[in-house]
Structure 1
Amino acid sequence: MPASKGSGEAAMIKSTQTVISVDNIPITSVLSGDDKRILVDHPVDKDEAVILSLGYKQEFKREFSLMTTFAVSFSVLGLLPSIASTLWYSLAYAGNAGITWGYLVGMIGVLCVAFSMGEISSAFPTSGGLYYATAMLAPPKYKALLSWLVGWSNYFVQVTGTPSVGYSCASMILALVQIGNPNYTYETWHCFLLTIAITAACAVIASAPTKWIAYINTAATALNLIFLFISFIVMLAGNNRTSQGLPRFNSNGYAWELDNFTDWPDGICILMTFMAVIWTMSGFDSPFHLSEECSNAQVATPRAIVLTATVGGLLGFVFQLAMAYTIVSVPDAINDELGQPYIAYLNQIMDQKKVMAIGAFAVILSFNMCFSCMIAASRVLFSYSRDNCFPLSRYWCKVNNVTRTPVNAVWANWFIGSILDILMFGGVAIDAIFSVGAIGSFISFTVPTLLRITYARNTFKPGPWNLGKFSAPCGTVACLFVLLMIPILNFPQYRGADNTPDLMNWTVVVYWGSMLLVLIWYYVYAHKIYKGPKSNLDRDAVISGTDAKDVINAVISANRNVKFGPKGSDPEKSSGQIDNKDDEKKPEKVEIVG
């Protein structure tokens, strides 16, 4: 780069030279505190200035807006397929109470987590935001360890998201096949192969260029809202309850009634149903992982997070309320031989044609959700590999030259997910990938929030979108909610002699066992190579403040005039045009950003 390394040495100046003063950008980064300046040979906008100051190159095209980012996260949320997939943890635990007031109470804690994450994302708008923020907010002695654990916890969420959604999609398809063809015999290997095919197709879509992905997810979000609305109307106005000799809707008492189908007290039972709302709502972190592809990221990213959580939460509650007022028999829906409570519920209140049509809506949206999950997961693997957090990181942090997306990371995640889907041959063990998605996500979501309201409460630099005086109260509620739910999410439905191996909650093995291995690996070897987030900028692009002054001095020494900003302004904090009297057609320029 053109900077000189000593006070009398001249420097070569390119036609355009931008100097970014890291400490003057209102963020905390791996480059902060050392009077670092970054030199680039082109003009930069605000988004690029921020990501460079965080220590990373601008490698993606910023082709996502607020609405297209929201489109991806809303697709990841996948309300209809998410609700259909998690009825085992709401309806099957607490009856209608699990999908009505239980869901509503759980959503309060979830929204506090989402709002706190929005504030964090505005301060650290990078695709590895959760673990990057953890490293920046943690005590220096523990930043590597804590960011390592948060990074892996969040990655476990991402890598299990696609296979769990793919499995759910395949299960609904096969349940519809059973309705359409009573002679069909379900086999586990049918579901496995169908899941692999679904996720492979999703990997192809997730490998597409950013602009294509933005268009596809915008269409997917429109389908989400349209299909959700049509399903809602048909459930309420098109059900056949009256032809069964039943009233059009259930009574208030039945719709909000608690039926405890667990071996635990009622209070614990309701808390256990929160797994459904936590898993359903966990997709609101997707904008964080797409922040390096979003314009005006410090504002658009937190807005997309909050918009996803609030809109998704409210629509999910209203939709499940319609289910509670129209379901004929909760026990029959749970125990139906179809093996899919949502399809079994539809079968209770509709004729076969409507069941097939409304069920098909859930299948289509589940497919949309699957490739959206894969998009988010690939960005996580890419960003963490950029800091050497994974084995073979040099392969997963590559951006494809054609699509400008991390294609290697997409297919690596697909391969791992395909291995995880083998758990379906273990019966209930497949449910563990849903539990991992709940517990792993909210632990990784909340650790930076906990650090922000404790150790870093006086040093945290909020971004342009922040909670102000509500930051500490909101963060406290979020942390207490997650602290309460960590043990609850490990509870099995039954206890004592009733808790047989095929009914056990395997989260304690799948999630905590994996995290234990990650911790052991860190202390045995990884601590030697992983020191926390690191800059991937070229070494000669990052200079000290003195060298930055030499850049300007070199231009002046070449008999060119430097015109700075407003009269009396500090040259180090201004932008200026360098007049080239010899060649007015190609004026050279030094922009001081920050």
Structure 2
Amino acid sequence: MSQRAPSTRKSVGQEPVTSVLPEGDIPFDPKHTWNQDEETLAALGYKPEFKREFNLWTTFCVSFAVLGLLPSFASTLYYGMGYAGTAGMTWGWLVAMIGIQSVAASMAELCSSMPTSGGLYYASAVLAPSGWGPLAAWITGWSNWMGQVTGAPSVNYGTSAMILAAASIVNPAFVPQNYQVYLLTVLLMVIHACMASLPTKTIARVNSFGSSFNIVALIVVLILIPAATDRESKNLPRFTDSKEVWGDIYAGTSFPPGVGILMSFIGVIWTMSGYDSPFHLAEECSNAAIASPRAIFLTSAVGGIFGWFLQLVVAYTVISIPDALSSDLGQPFAAYLVQVLPQRCVLAVLALTIIAGFFMGQGCMIAASRVTFAYARDDCFPFSNIWKRVNKYTQTPVNAVWLNTAVACCMLLLIFGGPLAAGAMFSIGAIAAFVAFTTPIFIRVFFVGNRFRPGPWNLGKLSIPVGVVASAFVILMVPILCLPSVTGSDLTAKTMNWTCVVYGGPMVMVLIWWVVSARKWFKGPKVNVQHMMLGRDVDGADVLMGQEVGGADVNEGNVVVDGKAAEAAKA
């Protein structure tokens, strides 16, 4: 029996996406009307598995919560101020933001073309030269996962340190111990894991509140510190002279001042590393090809501007950088606040920062779980069949959430190695994220040519120049992020930069795994509508192939466009 198929449908060749599907085919069910998001995702090779309950604002809220300017700045003040002083915090931030905003813009362009939770990993596989896609995806995926999985523990470590520092301010006899920091951080991890296991709609509401709180807290702190500073009671001017703030480079490292400025960028890079979250939430966002890239670009731009204002406030009011870095409080931001504010104001600012840090850790947990799910869906991890399961009650990847929590709790054992060892979590997050962010951008700029199909949000003629700036910035910064703060006889096991070991070690093992085994079975993104490609093994489902058509003969449940497609369907 034969009948006419429904009216015109699109093929993937007419979707504004860059896909892994050769001559891609969109799966077509005559009983279901495809919306634009579902059609785009199908063109990329995936079936919808999440409810699209995020929009531009809620997606921005999650990414801004992950960015967490106030707690991020507080947690990384040791690097931003400690390596280059106020000069690194003022004009150094502006220089770093040129490179960071270039990375964000190039990433947003990729997201618009490939709005899937696999994100950067999917992009690397699609854009790499023939035969190199699986390796590019393998490196990008594992590096991105390492950056994501260190996000929540490093944030919660900073939050725990601030909580205990506040306790020390109230009770000077209390001196925080490493085991107390560890246990409090693990407690925060477990709370966040429970919250990240909730349904998407609930998560969106919580993160909307958290992001709003982050913005309000940041504005309050920006106003409160200059207004309430008591520097004048210590016979100091209300604010430090601009010439000193912008011109003096604090010798916080054994390297020349210029290198010290570059080393201070670790604080900027880590603080600004949350803008990739909308990419990983694209499958839960409506109008993802436009809303998600906008959220990426806005997160970086808004974060960069407000972050710079915060840097200026601290740079113009700090009294003694060495005292802030070496305080018994164990938290430079808390020590800085004690220098410039009355105790009640100190506790108020710390309370705002701690609450903002709590929501930031929650946002990091959500973003990391989506990355883990996306990679497990493509069988990247051992026991991927467990981690890629979507909970049937919450419709969220609960197993992936708890896998990340377990890994993070093990990673937090670095706390017992001292501040420098624990600080490796921040360096790892920065370098791992940057390698993952820029690998597909680098491939796009230097190897793709005309194979890249821009999505509705794109940079136009600026695409290549912006990508070049982004790639050059990361190539410069990767070795800088591995430099120790001291050299010569001062360089010991306790003072070395452990980033090259803690990040490089696992990545070397991942590459060995690739050579020994993974190259034989890992082929990149494992699309879950592949059975509908090229009209083979359709099992009763309908597939639309080839160019746009007005109608087609339907025979035994398969939509056929032309004779060649019919032969493929019978094969």
**Once the 2 structures are TM-superposed, how far is the Cα of residue 248 of structure 1 from its aligned partner?**
1.1
Q: Please name the residue that 1:249 is paired with.
A: 239
2:70 to 64, 80, 98: 80
Q: How does 1:193-232 map to 2 (within 5 A)?
A: 193-232=183-222
Q: CA 1:574–1:341 in structure 2 vs 1: closer, same or farther (change >3 Å)? A: same
Q: Please name the residue that 1:500 is paired with.
A: 492
Contact between 2:125 and 2:525, CA under 8 Å: does it hold in 1? Answer: yes
Contact between 2:366 and 2:401, CA under 8 Å: does it hold in 1? Answer: yes
Q: Please name the residue that 2:12 is paired with.
A: 22
Q: CA 1:547–1:289 in structure 2 vs 1: closer, same or farther (change >3 Å)? A: closer
> Which secondary structure state, in structure 2, belongs to the residue aligned with residue 87 of structure 1?
helix
**Once the 2 structures are TM-superposed, how far is the Cα of residue 213 of structure 1 from its aligned partner?**
1.0
For residues 91 and 150 of structure 1, what CA distance do their matches in structure 2 show? 31
Q: Which amino acid aligns with 2:498?
A: W
> Which secondary structure state, in structure 2, belongs to the residue aligned with residue 90 of structure 1?
helix
Q: CA 1:267–1:402 in structure 2 vs 1: closer, same or farther (change >3 Å)? A: same
Contact between 2:10 and 2:548, CA under 8 Å: does it hold in 1? Answer: no
> Which secondary structure state, in structure 2, belongs to the residue aligned with residue 38 of structure 1?
strand
**Once the 2 structures are TM-superposed, how far is the Cα of residue 575 of structure 1 from its aligned partner?**
6.3
Q: CA 1:248–1:165 in structure 2 vs 1: closer, same or farther (change >3 Å)? A: same
Q: Say whether 1:263 aligns with 2:254.
A: yes
Normalising by structure 1, what TM-score? 0.89
> Which secondary structure state, in structure 2, belongs to the residue aligned with residue 573 of structure 1?
coil
**Once the 2 structures are TM-superposed, how far is the Cα of residue 334 of structure 1 from its aligned partner?**
1.0
1:417 to 408, 433, 436: 408
Q: Please name the residue that 1:460 is paired with.
A: 452
Q: CA 1:136–1:183 in structure 2 vs 1: closer, same or farther (change >3 Å)? A: same
For residues 551 and 294 of structure 1, what CA distance do their matches in structure 2 show? 26
> Which secondary structure state, in structure 2, belongs to the residue aligned with residue 339 of structure 1?
coil
Q: Which amino acid aligns with 2:34?
A: V
Q: How does 1:373-392 map to 2 (within 5 A)?
A: 373-392=364-383
> Which secondary structure state, in structure 2, belongs to the residue aligned with residue 236 of structure 1?
helix
Q: Please name the residue that 2:292 is paired with.
A: 301
Contact between 2:217 and 2:352, CA under 8 Å: does it hold in 1? Answer: yes
- 1:152-180 deviations in whole A, cap 9, x for unaligned? 00000001111111111100000110001
Q: CA 1:37–1:76 in structure 2 vs 1: closer, same or farther (change >3 Å)? A: closer
Q: Please name the residue that 1:406 is paired with.
A: 397
Q: CA 1:451–1:351 in structure 2 vs 1: closer, same or farther (change >3 Å)? A: same
Q: Please name the residue that 2:227 is paired with.
A: 237
Q: How does 1:35-50 map to 2 (within 5 A)?
A: 36-40=25-29, 41-50=31-40
Q: CA 1:73–1:575 in structure 2 vs 1: closer, same or farther (change >3 Å)? A: farther
For residues 451 and 536 of structure 2, what CA distance do their matches in structure 1 show? 23
Q: Please name the residue that 1:183 is paired with.
A: 173
Q: CA 1:241–1:575 in structure 2 vs 1: closer, same or farther (change >3 Å)? A: farther
Normalising by structure 2, what TM-score? 0.93
For residues 307 and 575 of structure 1, what CA distance do their matches in structure 2 show? 40
Q: Please name the residue that 1:429 is paired with.
A: 421
Q: How does 1:94-105 map to 2 (within 5 A)?
A: 94-105=84-95
2:509 to 514, 517, 520: 517
**Once the 2 structures are TM-superposed, how far is the Cα of residue 30 of structure 1 from its aligned partner?**
2.1
For residues 435 and 492 of structure 1, what CA distance do their matches in structure 2 show? 11
2:112 to 100, 113, 122: 122
Q: Please name the residue that 1:149 is paired with.
A: 139
Q: CA 1:519–1:572 in structure 2 vs 1: closer, same or farther (change >3 Å)? A: closer
**Once the 2 structures are TM-superposed, how far is the Cα of residue 537 of structure 1 from its aligned partner?**
2.1
Unaligned runs of 5+ in 2: 562-571
For residues 219 and 330 of structure 2, what CA distance do their matches in structure 1 show? 25
Unaligned runs of 5+ in 1: 1-9, 554-569, 579-587
Q: Please name the residue that 1:5 is paired with.
A: none
> Which secondary structure state, in structure 2, belongs to the residue aligned with residue 455 of structure 1?
helix
**Once the 2 structures are TM-superposed, how far is the Cα of residue 37 of structure 1 from its aligned partner?**
4.3
Q: CA 1:198–1:117 in structure 2 vs 1: closer, same or farther (change >3 Å)? A: same
Q: Say whether 1:316 aligns with 2:307.
A: yes
RMSD: 2.6
For residues 591 and 104 of structure 1, what CA distance do their matches in structure 2 show? 57
**Once the 2 structures are TM-superposed, how far is the Cα of residue 547 of structure 1 from its aligned partner?**
9.0
Q: CA 1:500–1:27 in structure 2 vs 1: closer, same or farther (change >3 Å)? A: same
Q: CA 1:413–1:141 in structure 2 vs 1: closer, same or farther (change >3 Å)? A: same
For residues 508 and 551 of structure 1, what CA distance do their matches in structure 2 show? 51
**Once the 2 structures are TM-superposed, how far is the Cα of residue 12 of structure 1 from its aligned partner?**
10
- 1:100-124 deviations in whole A, cap 9, x for unaligned? 1111111111011110101111111
**Once the 2 structures are TM-superposed, how far is the Cα of residue 470 of structure 1 from its aligned partner?**
0.4
For residues 560 and 168 of structure 2, what CA distance do their matches in structure 1 show? 66
For residues 398 and 49 of structure 1, what CA distance do their matches in structure 2 show? 23
- 1:128-154 deviations in whole A, cap 9, x for unaligned? 110100011001211111110000000
1:438 to 408, 427, 430: 430
> Which secondary structure state, in structure 2, belongs to the residue aligned with residue 248 of structure 1?
coil
Contact between 2:441 and 2:467, CA under 8 Å: does it hold in 1? Answer: yes
Q: CA 1:123–1:184 in structure 2 vs 1: closer, same or farther (change >3 Å)? A: same
> Which secondary structure state, in structure 2, belongs to the residue aligned with residue 458 of structure 1?
helix
2:316 to 325, 339, 347: 325
Contact between 2:59 and 2:281, CA under 8 Å: does it hold in 1? Answer: yes
Q: CA 1:289–1:12 in structure 2 vs 1: closer, same or farther (change >3 Å)? A: farther
**Once the 2 structures are TM-superposed, how far is the Cα of residue 349 of structure 1 from its aligned partner?**
1.1
Q: Please name the residue that 2:566 is paired with.
A: none
Q: Please name the residue that 1:567 is paired with.
A: none
Q: Say whether 1:533 aligns with 2:522.
A: no
> Which secondary structure state, in structure 1, belongs to the residue aligned with residue 104 of structure 2?
helix
Alignment size in residue pairs:
554
Q: Which amino acid aligns with 2:272?
A: M
- Between the aligned residues of both structures, percent identity stands at 49
For residues 211 and 552 of structure 1, what CA distance do their matches in structure 2 show? 32
For residues 132 and 412 of structure 1, what CA distance do their matches in structure 2 show? 22
Contact between 2:25 and 2:543, CA under 8 Å: does it hold in 1? Answer: no
> Which secondary structure state, in structure 2, belongs to the residue aligned with residue 258 of structure 1?
coil
Q: CA 1:56–1:184 in structure 2 vs 1: closer, same or farther (change >3 Å)? A: same
2:97 to 101, 104, 107: 107
Q: Please name the residue that 1:573 is paired with.
A: 548
- 1:300-355 deviations in whole A, cap 9, x for unaligned? 11100000000000000011101111111111111111111110011011111111
For residues 322 and 235 of structure 1, what CA distance do their matches in structure 2 show? 7
Contact between 2:28 and 2:542, CA under 8 Å: does it hold in 1? Answer: no
Q: Please name the residue that 1:561 is paired with.
A: none
Q: Say whether 1:484 aligns with 2:476.
A: yes
Contact between 2:10 and 2:547, CA under 8 Å: does it hold in 1? Answer: no
> Which secondary structure state, in structure 1, belongs to the residue aligned with residue 450 of structure 2?
coil
Q: Please name the residue that 1:565 is paired with.
A: none
Q: Which amino acid aligns with 1:573?
A: E
- 1:376-433 deviations in whole A, cap 9, x for unaligned? 0000000011111111111111111111110100010000000000011011211111
Contact between 1:94 and 1:259, CA under 8 Å: does it hold in 2? Answer: yes
Q: Please name the residue that 1:51 is paired with.
A: 41
Q: Say whether 1:92 aligns with 2:92.
A: no
Q: Please name the residue that 2:384 is paired with.
A: 393
**Once the 2 structures are TM-superposed, how far is the Cα of residue 445 of structure 1 from its aligned partner?**
0.5
Q: Which has the larger radius of gyration?
A: 1
Contact between 1:205 and 1:371, CA under 8 Å: does it hold in 2? Answer: yes
Q: CA 1:18–1:376 in structure 2 vs 1: closer, same or farther (change >3 Å)? A: farther
> Which secondary structure state, in structure 1, belongs to the residue aligned with residue 28 of structure 2?
strand
For residues 182 and 250 of structure 1, what CA distance do their matches in structure 2 show? 29
2:267 to 276, 282, 295: 276
> Which secondary structure state, in structure 2, belongs to the residue aligned with residue 502 of structure 1?
coil
Q: CA 1:252–1:131 in structure 2 vs 1: closer, same or farther (change >3 Å)? A: same
**Once the 2 structures are TM-superposed, how far is the Cα of residue 459 of structure 1 from its aligned partner?**
1.1
Q: Which amino acid aligns with 2:14?
A: N
